[in-house]
């Protein structure tokens, strides 16, 4: 997504792609949320890809809409507030899921921000069990309701999850700088059927347009805009693609090429801001690996390293990540 400025059009159910740039003008109305970036070490990247493979096997091999991304390889996160007064939480803004969750317990020897509902004057108990199954394990807690603040936007009495078990996120969560996840997917994949954050924002009437847009900086902070797009981050016009499913942000895939060669017959794809992995059928990524001359990494079957271009790839089912 760093090459393109991506507009997620909730109102017209479509995705827009424009060439990312570094112009200087700023829009007036939309709400801007800065996104920070944490670079992974080589060892963390390898571990993240291997964990990510498990997640993709779960997603592509089942119809269970609860299985979502393993965030060991997530790098972009931004600040929100939960409660009154607002308690700071750093979250991944994830188009591959549809719930907001934040931790109420800090894992041993970590510095994560936690949500303490006893310190909020607007907290309302729910108590219904919340559980998500990641490829690497479960994440669970209970639903609660409180005021959620995103930039200048505020959702009152919003139902989210406070989580006390995060083992499913593995080492990446313990080392990471994000505390929770704010899902930007559609209602059909919302755990518990609770309103999604974007659904709630649109219905609140606070957004100038039912749109959000990502700019992911290259070795610098990125930006997420709610309610419009930011002209300083793109050039030219948007090319729009209609959604093929209101679950993940799923679109029709015309093809995948490596140079001039077609390397995929897959007909659909999702645009997922919560992961930097590319996933697809095992046979297709195996063919890509062969064309790139990729070599086995750390003796791991199904995970390779290649220097031109610099990337990690795996066919289980398959994943690729461009490295710095």
Q: Distance of CA 216 to CAs 34, 74, 180, Å? A: 10, 12, 19
Alpha helices in the chain (DSSP H): 42-61, 170-175, 197-204, 282-292
Indicate if the alpha-carbon torsion angle 7, 11, 245, 193 is positive or negative.
Answer: positive
- The strand pairing partners of 250, in sequence order, are 245, 270
Closest of 218, 312, 309 to residue 258, by C-alpha: 309
Diameter of the chain measured on Cα atoms = 60
d(CA 313, CA 315): 7
Instruction: Give the active site residue among 69, 70, 146, 272.
Output: 272
What does the block give as tokens for 95?
């188009």
Instruction: Give the active site residue among 94, 146, 179, 230.
Output: 94
d(CA 315, CA 106): 35
d(CA 33, CA 263): 37
Q: Among this protein's residues, is 254 annotated catalytic?
A: no
Q: Among this protein's residues, is 152 annotated catalytic?
A: no
The secondary structure of 186-231 as a DSSP string is -GGG-GGGPPPHHHHHHHHT--SSSEEEEE--SSS-EEEEESS--G
Catalytic positions, written as ranges = 94, 272
């Amino acid at each position: 997504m760093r090459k393109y400025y991506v507009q997620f059009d909730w109102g017209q159910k479509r995705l827009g792609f424009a060439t990312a740039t570094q112009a200087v003008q700023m829009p007036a109305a939309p709400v801007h949320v800065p996104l920070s970036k944490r670079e992974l070490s080589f060892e963390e990247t390898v571990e993240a890809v291997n964990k990510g493979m498990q997640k993709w096997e779960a997603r592509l091999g089942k119809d269970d809409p609860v299985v979502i991304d393993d965030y060991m390889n997530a790098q972009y996160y931004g600040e929100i507030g939960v409660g009154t007064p607002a308690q700071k939480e750093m979250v991944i803004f994830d188009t591959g899921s549809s719930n907001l969750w934040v931790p109420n317990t800090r894992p041993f020897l970590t510095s994560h921000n936690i949500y303490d509902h006893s310190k909020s004057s607007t907290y309302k108990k729910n108590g219904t069990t919340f559980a998500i199954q990641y490829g690497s394990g479960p994440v669970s807690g209970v639903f609660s309701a409180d005021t959620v603040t995103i930039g200048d936007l505020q959702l009152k009495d919003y139902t989210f999850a406070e989580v006390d078990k995060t083992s499913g996120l593995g080492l990446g969560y313990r080392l990471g700088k994000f505390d929770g996840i704010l899902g930007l997917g559609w209602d059909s994949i919302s755990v518990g059927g609770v309103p999604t954050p974007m659904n709630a924002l649109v219905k609140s009437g606070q957004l100038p347009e039912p749109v959000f847009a990502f700019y992911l900086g290259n070795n610098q902070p990125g930006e997420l805009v709610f309610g419009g797009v930011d002209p300083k981050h793109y050039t030219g016009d948007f090319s729009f693609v209609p959604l093929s499913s209101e679950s993940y942000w799923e679109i029709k895939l015309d093809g995948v090429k490596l140079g001039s060669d077609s390397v995929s017959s897959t007909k659909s794809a999702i645009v997922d801001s919560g992961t930097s992995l590319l996933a697809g059928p095992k046979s297709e990524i195996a063919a890509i690996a062969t064309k790139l001359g990729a070599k086995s990494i750390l003796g791991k079957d199904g995970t390779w390293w290649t220097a031109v271009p610099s990337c990690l790839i795996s066919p289980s089912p398959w994943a690729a990540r461009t490295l710095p």
